[in-house]
């Protein structure tokens, strides 16, 4: 068997050819991929940015796609299963991801197919029974993350947690965090790390830091891949069909309940009521199921909804602030955000005010 | 050898191993998952750790998925991955003797 010491885009092993395909520009390859997926009972995922494919002569016999750090649409022609194809395919997709600067990779699969990936260096993160398993390509990813969190554990009977995107940080966020902190012995605040919002993660983190001043019992944490990220909660970041779309919020919430909450000793999760954004509203509703009900071996976490603050009869929301920002109505924003947010909006974002896609 | 970036070496194919090295400020952590771990686990670990010691890698995270590689393969893969992680392209043969 041909051995390979340096990664190349094209490698010949026996008669099989592995190479990378851009499905957006290469319609011929894309058509073959779609046919292979159909033969394997999978649907083509539009969001995939690159594929590794394998051809035996003219025939496309295997493929695996990459959407940022998520591996998708992995299919092997039934005639080529059971051999080394899976190992080769996963090696190739891992090198492809590495060449794109991505090393921590995730894969969603039906629980009955999870064994395939376990044999290829993937490890279970969370399973939603009968629906989906999320795996990552390291045996120590979530474990070392939780070990780091555990060092920031604070003793107490009632330990709260808030996970916020705060895009941007409003008086509503300040109110939620204040109320939550008052209600517990200690509060852990996590910022969503994914940089797909109007306000960059760096700015959102900075504003959280500035705007929680004066609250004595709160720790601000960096966000991670394991909380409301593209990997754990894809529907929040892109409209997804197929298996990833179906799992919706369960993966993210079970990961929180099974791993993150026990590391910090979290007993309560606080959330603001959500009158505007349907995705967030659904997340809040699902939270009560996946965090509180008997769906996991990990202890239940109480979900506490806090009514949104209102200004002139209107609930304050970050999406409303973004809307006003786009219209250039800075004065109306002043009433809805703390001074630190207003200063940053005025100095950095007001000039950028133009129609942007909302997240 | 100071690790600067994530690196990969090897494959998941039979008789090979897939190794991933990441820089870290923590003392060296080596995690090995092997199909033949119950029989050769100690020997595999020794080959990995000795190679890293020779290259003076003292910090970082090393994850090995072994598919039954021979010792010489293990050493070569670890060496390649460490060099890539350190951004080194010239082999220091003396360090290996």
Q: A211 and A320 share a domain?
A: yes
Nearest residue on chain A to B77, alpha-carbon basis = A5
Task: State the pLDDT at residue A131.
Answer: 85
Please tell me the predicted confidence (pLDDT) of residue A317.
Answer: 86
Tell whether the model's pLDDT for residue A352 goes beyond 70: no
Same domain for A168 and A94, yes or no, is no
- Is residue A183, in this structure, part of any structural domain at all? yes
| Judgement on whether residues A82 and A158 belong to the same structural domain of the protein | no
Q: Is residue A216 a part of any domain in this protein?
A: yes
Instruction: Give the number of domains in chain A.
Output: 2
A91, B14: Cβ pair inside 8 Å?
no
Task: Kindly provide the residue ranges of all beta strands, DSSP E only, lying in chain A, ordered along the sequence.
Answer: 11-13, 16-21, 50-56, 59-67, 70-76, 106-109, 123-128, 132-136, 159-164, 186-191, 218-221, 268-272, 302-306, 310-311, 314-315
DSSP state of A111: G
pLDDT tens column, A148-166: 999 999 999 999 999 999 9
Contact B12 A139 (CB under 8 A): no
Place A137 in a pLDDT band, splitting at 50, 70 and 90. Answer: very high
Domain check: are A174 and A81 in the same one? no
Crossing angle for the helix pair B71-86 and B37-54, to the nearest 10 degrees: 40
Q: What is the pLDDT of residues A182-218, one digit of tens each?
A: 999 999 999 999 887 789 999 999 999 999 999 999 9
CB contact under 8 A, B29 and A140: yes
Q: What is the pLDDT of residue B94?
A: 75
Chain A contacts of B11, Cβ < 8 Å? 4, 87-88, 91
Which residues of chain B make contact with A94, given a CB cutoff of 8 A? Answer: 8, 18
The confidence score (pLDDT) of residue A1 equals 43
Task: Kindly state whether B47 is in contact with chain A, defined as any CB-CB distance less than 8 angstroms.
Answer: no
Residues A258 and A208 grouped into a single domain = yes
B23: pLDDT strictly greater than 60: yes
Helix (H, G, I), strand (E, B) or coil at A46: coil
Q: Tell whether A233 is covered by a domain.
A: yes
Q: What's the CATH number where A4 sits?
A: 3.40.630.30
A277: pLDDT confidence band, cut at 50, 70 and 90? Answer: confident
Domains of chain B: 7-90 (3.30.230.10)
Same domain flag for A50 and A196: no
Please indicate if any CB of chain A lies within 8 Å of the CB of B65: yes
- Determine contact, residues A179/A220, Cβ cutoff 8 Å: no
Q: Are A32 and A180 in the same domain?
A: no
Q: Name every residue whose Cβ is closer than 8 Å to that of residue A38 and which is 6 or more positions away in sequence.
A: none
For the stretch A287-320, pLDDT in tens is 999 999 999 999 999 999 998 877 767 778 888 8
Pairing of the two strands A106-109 and A186-191: unpaired
Same domain? For A194 and A77 the reply is no
pLDDT above 80 (res A354): no
CA–CA dist A164, A290 (Å, integer): 18
CA dist A298 and A344 (Å) reads 41
Q: Do B63 and A139 lie within an 8 Å CB cutoff?
A: yes
Residues A210, A323: one domain?
yes
Q: What is the pLDDT of residue A281?
A: 78
In a domain, A303, yes or no: yes
Q: Given pLDDT bands bounded at 50, 70 and 90, which one contains residue A238?
A: low
Same domain, A315 and A168: yes
- Looking at the domain assignment, is residue A282 inside a domain? yes
Query: Which residues on chain B are in Cβ contact (under 8 Å) with A90?
Result: 12
Give the pLDDT score at A292: 95
Residue B28, chain A, CB below 8 Å: the answer is no
- Between CA A284 and CA A249 the distance in angstroms is 9
pLDDT given for residue A245 in this prediction:
53
Q: Domain for residue A162, yes or no?
A: yes
Residues A189, A325: one domain?
yes
pLDDT at residue A10 tops 50 = no
Residue A210: which CATH number? 3.40.50.620
Q: Determine the structural domain holding residue A26 and report its residue range.
A: 1-103
Identify the pLDDT of residue A19.
96
* Residue A219 forms part of a structural domain: yes
At A38 the pLDDT is 94
Q: Is the ipTM of this complex over 0.90?
A: no
Average pLDDT over residues A327-350: 90
Q: Best of A2, A94, A107 to disrupt the B interface by mutation (most B CBs within 10 Å)?
A: A94
């Amino acid at each position: 068997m041909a051995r390979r010491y340096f990664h190349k885009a094209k490698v010949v092993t026996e008669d099989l050819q592995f190479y990378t395909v851009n499905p957006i520009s290469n319609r011929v390859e894309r058509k073959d991929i779609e046919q292979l997926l159909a033969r394997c009972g999978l649907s083509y995922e539009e969001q995939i940015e690159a594929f590794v494919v394998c051809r035996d002569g003219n025939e496309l016999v295997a493929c695996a796609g990459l959407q940022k750090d998520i591996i998708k649409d992995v299919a092997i022609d039934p005639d080529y299963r059971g051999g080394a194809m899976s190992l080769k395919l996963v090696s190739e997709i891992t090198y492809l991801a590495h060449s794109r600067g991505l090393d921590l990779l995730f894969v969603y699969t039906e629980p009955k197919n999870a064994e395939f990936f376990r044999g290829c260096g993937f490890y279970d993160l969370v399973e939603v029974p009968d629906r989906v398993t999320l795996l990552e390509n390291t045996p120590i990813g979530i474990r070392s993350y939780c070990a780091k969190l555990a060092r920031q554990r604070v003793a107490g009977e009632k330990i709260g947690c808030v996970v916020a995107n705060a895009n941007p940080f409003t008086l509503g966020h300040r109110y939620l965090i204040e109320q939550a902190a008052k209600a517990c012995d200690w509060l852990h605040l996590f910022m969503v790390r994914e940089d797909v919002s109007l306000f960059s993660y760096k700015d959102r983190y900075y504003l959280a830091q500035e705007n929680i001043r004066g609250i004595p019992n709160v720790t601000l944490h960096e966000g991670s891949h394991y909380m409301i990220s593209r990997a754990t909660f894809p529907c929040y970041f892109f409209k997804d069909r197929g298996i990833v779309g179906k799992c919706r919020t369960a993966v993210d919430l079970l990961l929180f309940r099974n791993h993150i909450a026990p590391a910090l000793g979290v007993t309560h999760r606080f959330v603001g009521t959500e009158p505007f954004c349907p995705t967030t509203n659904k997340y809040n509703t699902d939270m009560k199921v996946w965090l509180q009900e008997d769906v996991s071996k990990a202890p239940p976490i109480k979900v506490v909804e806090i009514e949104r603050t209102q200004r002139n009869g209107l609930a304050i929301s970050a999406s409303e602030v973004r809307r006003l920002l786009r219209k250039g109505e800075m004065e109306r924003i002043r009433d809805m955000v703390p001074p630190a947010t207003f200063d940053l909006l005025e100095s950095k974002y007001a000039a950028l005010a133009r129609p942007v896609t909302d997240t | 050898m100071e690790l600067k970036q994530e690196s990969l070496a090897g494959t998941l194919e039979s008789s090979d191993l897939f190794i991933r090295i990441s820089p870290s400020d923590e003392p060296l952590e080596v995690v090995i998952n092997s199909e033949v771990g119950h029989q050769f686990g100690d020997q595999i670990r020794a080959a990995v750790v000795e190679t890293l010691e020779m290259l003076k890698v003292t910090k970082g995270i090393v994850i090995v998925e072994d598919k039954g590689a021979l010792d010489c393969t293990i050493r070569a893969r670890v060496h390649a991955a460490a060099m890539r992680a350190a951004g080194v392209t010239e082999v220091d043969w003396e360090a290996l003797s």
